[in-house]
Chain A
Amino acid sequence: MASFKPTRIQVYPKLGEKVTQDTLYWKNYKAPVQIKEFGAITSIDFSPLAPHTYAVTASTRVHIYGPFSQEPVKTFTRFKDTAYSGRFRSDGQLLVAGCEDSAVRLFDVSGRVAIRMFKGHTKAVHVADFTSHGYQILTGSDDYTCKLWDIPNSAELTSYKEHTDYIRCGITSKLNRDLFFTGSYDHTLKLFDARVDKSVMNMDHGQPVESLLLYPSEGLLVSAGGRYVKVWDLLKGGQPLVSLKNHHKTVTSLCLGSNGQRLLSASLDRHVKVYSTTNYKVVHNFDYAASILSLGLAPDDESIVVGMTNGILSIKHKRTPEDSKGAVQQKRQPAYRIFVKGKNYVPKQEDYLVSKPVRQYLAKYDKLLRKFNVSKALDEAMEQWTRLRKSEIPMAVIKELDRRGTLKNALAGRDEKELCQLLSFVIMNLVDTRFTATLTTMAEMLLDIYQSTVGMSSLVDRQLLRLQELLDKETEYQQELMEVLGMLDVLFASAHPRKEVTLPGRDVCLCSIVVHLPILPCGYL
C-alpha cells in the first residue's frame, strides 16, 4: 500500500536579489537614527581615536556626535558663513574646517573658539585636511589654488595654482608628510609633493571630481566624479585601473569599509553602493530618502552615517549579538525540555536499535485532500495564505483540485465572506505570470457559479469591479508591452544585416515602419 503523496508546493525561483554573505552582513544593522540638521550635510569625519566621535559639517556649524548619542556632544558655531570639511587630526585633538568666507579655522576639540585662523584664500574653501605629521594643513579653494599652512605660526607655506577650476576635494597621504592629492572641477586629479613647487602626477577623471579616497596602502587612489567612480594605480604612474558606473547621478562621497575589503560610494541618486575591492562588483545597495552628500563609516563598520541634502543625518548602528539573543529568548517555548525528552539519548554499544516506522506528517490541507474534502482543503490553504502570505500554498492546492477535476465543487457553495476572500486572492495574484493560467480558470469558474448572485451583495460586487478594473489595466499594459516589443523587433531587424531573402511584400512593410518609428528615449526601456 503506497502512502498518500502530499501536494507538491511548487518552488519558484526567488525574484530579486540573491541572498549572499554580504547582504546578510550589510542588512545586520538596526533601524536608522535620524537627526535633523540645519542645512545640507556636506562632510562627515570620524575621529581616528576611540570612542570614535564624528564631526558633521552642516550649514554654519560643525557638530561632534558621540558614538551612541542622539545629540551633539560638541558644537562649533563660530563660522560667518557655511562651513565645509570639518576634519579631525590623527590624534583627535584638533579639528579644521573651511568656510564659505575663505577663512580656514582650526579648533581645539575641547575648546570652543578657533585657536588659529588661516586667511589667504580669496574664495570659499571646500577642502581642509591635516598632513600626516599633523603640523601642517592642506586647503583647497574655489580660487583654483591649494595651499599648505604651518599650524604653529599660522603661516602659508606653499601655494599651488595648477587647477583651472574649483578644487572641491583633497586628501593627504597618511604615510608621507609631503604628499597630497587634490581633485578639481577641471576633471583632473593632481598629486603634489610639498618639496617641489609643482604637481608630480596628473590624472584625468573625465568629470568634475567630487571626492577622493586613498587606500590604506596608498597604492591605489579612488576618485568620484559625475556618475563614475574610478580607481587609479599610483604605483604605475597613475594608470586607470577600473571605472565603475553604477550610479545614475553624481557620486558625491566615498569611503572604505570592512578593513579595506569593501568600498562604499554615495550618490545624489539616493543610493549607497557597496563594492568588493577584489573584483569591484556591487555586493550590496542601500536606499535613502534623499540625495546623499556625505558618507562616513565607523571603524569595524560599527555604524554607517549618511548626510543628505535635506539636512537629515541618518545613523545606522550594527546589530549586536545581544540584541538578537533577546529576541530568541522571548520566542523560546517554556516546555522545550519536554520536546527533547529522550531524544538526546545516545545508544550504547550493546543496545539493540529498533527503528520506528517513519510517520508521514501531512499538512492540514493534505489530510483533507486525502479524504476528498475538497472545499475544506481549499479553505485550509486559504487560511494559510492569509496567515503566511505564501501564495504558493493555495496555488498548489488549487492546481491539485483542478487536476482532480473537483475545483468547481470546491468553489461552489460559498457565503459572502468566503467568496470575497477567494476573489481577493484572485485579484492579488492574477497578474503574476506564474499563476495566471490557473487563476484564469478559477476566476472563470467563480463567475460561472456566482453569475446569478451578482448584485445581491455589495461586498462581492466591489470585488468583482476591482477584478474588472485590474483586467482592463492589465490588457492595456500588455498592449503597451507588445508595442515596445514590436519596436524592438524592428530595431533588431534593421540592425542585423539580412542574409536570407524574405518575401518582398514583407520587406516593404518593414521599411515603412522603420521610417515612421520615433526615436526611443533611453529611459523608455
Chain B
Amino acid sequence: MTPIQMTFSTNFLLGLMGLTFHRTHLLSALLRLESMMLSLFLATSLWALQLSTINIATVPMLVLAFSACSASSGLRLLVATARTHGSDHMQNLNLLQC
C-alpha cells in the first residue's frame, strides 16, 4: 500500500474509532463523522487525480454535498438536544431506559 492510501485509510479508521469511543459530547461525535467524510473526499479525489480517470472527479463533489446534508441534520439534532436537555451530553439521552 502506498503511503497516501495508508494515510486516508487510517484517517477514516481513526474517525470511526473516535466515533465508537466517544465520551461526553454529541458534537465531538459529529466532528468525527465529518473527519470520516473528509477522508472519503480525499480518497475519491486522489482516485481521480492519480489514475487520471477524470470523470470520477464528480464523485467527491457529490459526496461533499451529501455529507453537508448529513452534517447539517446532525447539527440541528444537536440544537434540539440542547434545547430540551440543556446540554449535548450523551448521558442525558436516556429516555429509553427504565
Are A and B a genuine interacting pair, yes or no?
A: no
A-side residues, CB < 8 A to B, are none
